Amino acid sequence: MTELSCACRYGTLRGVVYGNPDQPLLLALHGWLDNAASFSRLAPLLADYCVVAVDLPGHGHSDWLGEGGEYLIWSSLPALTDLIHTHPLFHGRSFHLLGHSMGSAAGLLLAAVVPERLLSYMALDALGPLTTAPAQAPQQLAQAVLTQPAAESRRYRSAAAALQARLRNNPELSADCIGAVVARNLRTLDSGDVQWTTDPRLRLPSSVRLTDEQLQAFFQQLPVPALVIRAEQGIIPLSVFQQRLSWLPQGQLISLPGHHHFHLEASTCAAVATALKEFLTHV
């Protein structure tokens, strides 16, 4: 496990490389308000692959977007394409793509930008981004414009206190599950307090979203085999998975026990890894 750093057009994208760089590459994209540590339990179980887990812009150790920046679902694509085109680890190499939650949405759009580099697409308890019907677009824009600027992130007396705050907001999680993610999302201040490193603007509503029709075009042009793993106690209805799976030219859906972060829980992570490895052996 080594730290990753890549100078991109917006700033510095950081992350973690798990495993041997000579193994096949697997780019892993985390969910909203998480970071590269989201794959800290899963990556060691994928020992035949070099798992490159990034902190998406505004998360973990990566830089925030500049003044006036907005965290739309496609806002991370310039940084990710810079990583793929300039970092020595990716030089001349194709890669597998794994996304959890928001990362599955960003990954789907990334596939349209660099289709020639992609070997497969895997999504954990999500399948693409939130959408907005055309008739609702004015309301979506108004909500974003009229929302007050994001307040400074909260401060806590200790990392333990910050962890407890995350657990209160997500009672299905355990400290063992989310502890590494919380630790990577904290910085220590001169006062000794800790504060979230995530950009507060990540919590603001998006000014614009794709429509279902636009999203369907991205799915239909996905050029590689796709595996979607749904958490049986997850946050997205089965009907959404079924509808979007019908848009995939080469897609399969399986369901496994666990909650939305089932790839981080000790009791459910091994089953997720097994399903991923079985899929990858046939790509």
Compute the residue count for the chain: 283
Mean pLDDT (the chain) is 97
> What DSSP state is assigned to residue 147?
S
Quote the CA–CA distance of 70 and 76 in Å, as a whole number: 10
Which CATH fold topology does 2-133+208-280 show?
Answer: Rossmann fold (3.40.50)
pTM > 0.75: yes or no: yes
Whole-number pLDDT of residue 229: 98
CA atoms 233, 239, 243, 246: torsion sign? positive
pLDDT in tens, 194-222: 999 999 999 999 999 999 999 999 999 99
Q: Which residues of the chain have pLDDT under 70?
A: none
Whole-number pLDDT of residue 81: 98
- Torsion, Cα 164 166 167 170, to 10 degrees, reads 160
DSSP line for 18-34: ES-TTSPEEEEE--TT-
Q: Which residue has the tokens 């502890």?
A: 179
Q: Quick one: which H or E segment has residue 52?
A: strand 50-55
Q: Any bridge partners for residue 55, and if so which?
A: 14
Quote the CA–CA distance of 264 and 24 in Å, as a whole number: 22
Domain ranges of the chain: 2-133+208-280
Within 10 Å of residue 216's Cβ, how many Cβ atoms?
A: 17
